A and B are shown apart, each in its own frame.
Chain A
Amino acid sequence: DAKTTQPTSMDCAEGRAANLPCNHSTISGNEYVYWYRQIHSQGPQYIIHGLKNNETNEMASLIITEDRKSSTLILPHATLRDTAVYYCIVRAPQGGSEKLVFGKGTKLTVNP
């Protein structure tokens, strides 16, 4: 799997948008970008994933650059409950993607 680079930590004011960046400059053409988050002491939770088009669901939006070398997870109106570690992962759909490996992630703190 391609490696990802994320900032160690970020802060965001409650009610504002949180924009979490991820670099994946060695991503292959068939690899998807996945985002998970881990709220303190709980198991990680899936947020969203995408290939090359922007994606949106009830939790977040995912913006992937045209060259696919980076992406941004957007939480449009961050709340205190969004304080968590956010992980960006790239995986291919077939062959060689059996391992699901997490990096160090970004610790997002939402402040009141």
Chain B
Amino acid sequence: NAGVTQTPKFRILKIGQSMTLQCTQDMNHNYMYWYRQDPGMGLKLIYYSVGAGITDKGEVPNGYNVSRSTTEDFPLRLELAAPSQTSVYFCATSRRGDTEAFFGQGTRLTVV
């Protein structure tokens, strides 16, 4: 089992470009989460999903969009990249809200 897979691992974007960060899980978990972590800071929740077809905003959703058409995939979309979105992005999953969460290895994004 691969667990939680994030692609790409690294990406450099120019201001105004768009991209999709991919997150795929093979654990059949219902809950999925996206976080960003700025240098030296803690994790901030961007969006989360409690199942296919259901998404909700976290602490810092502005500038991002998500979709959850399948249990396995939870892509994060940046429409107009800004330097403030330079960060490391982590995807996570959990079977339920009260069970342990599993994290991917992260995507390091730089916007220049």
Known: A98-B50, A99-B45, A99-B58. A34 touches B100 (CB 8 A): yes
By a CB distance below 8 angstroms, the chain A residues around B4 are: 43
Residues of B within 8 A of A104 (CB): 42
Known contacts A98-B48, A100-B33, A100-B45; A93/B98 CB under 8 A:
yes
Total of A-B residue pairs, C-beta within 8 Å: 65
| Size bracket, chain A contacts | 20 to 34
Q: Which of B13-21, B62-70, B102-110 contacts A (4 or more CB under 8 A)?
A: B102-110
A100 touching B42, Cβ below 8 Å: no
The main secondary structure of chain B at its interface with chain A is strand
Q: Which residues of chain B have C-beta atoms less than 8 A from A49's C-beta?
A: 100
The residue among B33, B42, B48, B106 with the most chain A CB atoms within 10 A of its own CB is: B42
| B-chain residues with CB within 8 Å of residue A85 when the two chains form the complex | 42
Complex Cα–Cα for A98 and B100 (A): 12
Judge whether B98 and A44 touch: CB under 8 Å. no
The 3 closest A-B pairs by CB, nearest first: A43-B103, A93-B98, A46-B100
Partner-B contacts on A (CB < 8 A): 32, 34, 36, 38, 41-46, 49, 85, 87, 91-94, 97-105
